[in-house]
Copies of this chain bind each other. A is one copy, B any other.
Amino acid sequence: MQPENGRNDQGTRSFIEEARRAQIVRAATEPIAEIGYAKASFAQIARRAGISPALITYHFANREALIKQVMVSVHSSMDADLTLKTDKAPGYLAALRGLIEGYVHYCAEHPRELIAISRIAANATEAREWAEQQQVATITELADMFREGQQRGEFRTFAPRVMALTLMAALETAPRELFEHPETDVGAYAGELATIFERAVRKT
């Protein structure tokens, strides 16, 4: 009998429950990144996790739910990592550079996760909607940051949303480049990218 997908009466999940879910989510990431969303079947994922396919359905209501959880997990662990690195920058220009370099380095360390979520975003309807909301939020945050930078006089006048979109796009293209060209000098890549946007936003 299903545990109403892992929640008991208090809506919480047991420890072991949570551990299994995490294991499955992790096991799902690689096949998606490597053979694509469509071919990453439960059979594939289960084999990699060393469990039976039926167990996936036991822990996740359906495929969409699992896929969405992959997105959520990758996003949240990335957020956790990046929040540590950025926050305490001395100004907006510096914060921008910090953000970009932090993200690029994160990409270099977790290429598969990020490729997986890009694959998911291109396919899974429900997960994409969630991701789009996230993205809307992120873009809004970035745009706000740009706007504030402009108000403080650190940034020139430009359309914050266009800049935010462009930055997002530039960041999201990093994982694949780093994955497909592992010889890339990550620090240089990060620095160049930061410089591009620094010049794009700064006055003069």
Taking beta carbons and an 8 Å cutoff, which residues of A are in contact with B? 1-2, 35-38, 42-43, 46, 52-54, 118-119, 122-125, 158-159, 162-163, 165-166, 168-170, 172-173, 177, 188-189, 192-193, 195-197, 199-200, 204
A119 surroundings in chain B (CB, below 8 A): 122-123
Q: Are B35 and A125 in contact (CB under 8 A)?
A: yes
Contact B192 A177 (CB under 8 A): no
Residues of B within 8 A of A36 (CB): 122-125
**Minimum distance in angstroms from A66 CB to a CB of chain B:** 15
Q: Is the CB of B159 within 8 A of A170?
A: no
**30 A-B pairs (CB sep. < 8 Å):** A1-B42, A1-B43, A1-B46, A1-B52, A1-B53, A1-B54, A2-B43, A35-B125, A36-B123, A37-B38, A38-B123, A119-B122, A122-B122, A122-B123, A123-B123, A158-B195, A159-B188, A159-B189, A159-B192, A162-B193, A163-B196, A166-B169, A166-B170, A166-B196, A169-B172, A170-B170, A195-B200, A197-B200, A199-B199, A204-B204
Q: Which residue of B lies closest to A122 (CB)?
A: B122
CB neighbours of A169 from chain B (8 A): 166, 169-170, 172-173
Chain B residues whose C-beta falls within 8 Å of the C-beta of A177 in the assembled complex:
165
A119, closest chain B residue (CB): B122
Q: Contact at A158–B122, with CB atoms within 8 Å? A: no
